[in-house]
């Protein structure tokens, strides 16, 4: 993680290479949503793009995040990252859902004094970018 963490509270530009598939001239390894290689709207595309932005990396070999559905991120330990219930800036927040078998992932953009966290999100076949504030306990279901 870069020591110069900058929270993202607005949507990335459409031509931002962190959110374009690596096979289409970008840096993102998540699935492309369209023929131009955009990885948004999709929560996994956003998480990969934010990881790249936060680490200031264009090195695909360093991106070891899960490439499957969001429901698999928390138990995917091959990435080498710690798991836990304590929010960290730039961390991936993982959510399960009873109505969406694929789950949801988001990025922790801000940790407030009251313990609430601000998350950046994207939704497959939905909103390209949005933020959401979640209060503890962090058992919010998407």
Q: Please report the pLDDT score of residue 61 as a whole number.
A: 82
Q: What is the pTM of this model?
A: 0.91
pLDDT in tens, 42-100: 999 999 999 999 999 888 888 889 998 999 999 999 988 899 889 999 999 998 776 67
43 within 8 A of 50, measured Cβ to Cβ: no
Any bridge partners for residue 120, and if so which? 107, 131
Long-range Cβ contact pairs of 111-117 (< 8 A, separation 24 or more): 111/87, 117/87, 117/93
pLDDT in tens, 103-124: 999 999 999 999 999 999 999 9
């Amino acid at each position: 993680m870069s020591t110069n963490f900058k929270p993202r509270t607005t949507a990335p530009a459409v031509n931002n290479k962190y959110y374009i598939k690596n096979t289409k001239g970008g840096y993102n390894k998540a699935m492309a949503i369209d023929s131009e290689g955009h990885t948004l709207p999709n929560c996994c595309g956003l998480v990969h793009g934010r990881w790249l932005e936060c680490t200031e990396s264009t090195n695909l070999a360093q991106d070891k995040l899960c490439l499957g559905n969001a429901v698999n991120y928390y138990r995917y330990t091959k990435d080498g990252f710690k798991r836990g219930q304590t929010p960290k800036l730039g961390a991936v927040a993982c959510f399960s859902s009873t109505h969406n078998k694929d789950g949801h992932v988001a990025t922790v953009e801000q940790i407030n004094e009251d313990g609430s966290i601000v998350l950046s999100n994207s939704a497959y076949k939905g909103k390209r970018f949005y933020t959401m504030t979640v209060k503890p306990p962090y058992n919010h279901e998407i």
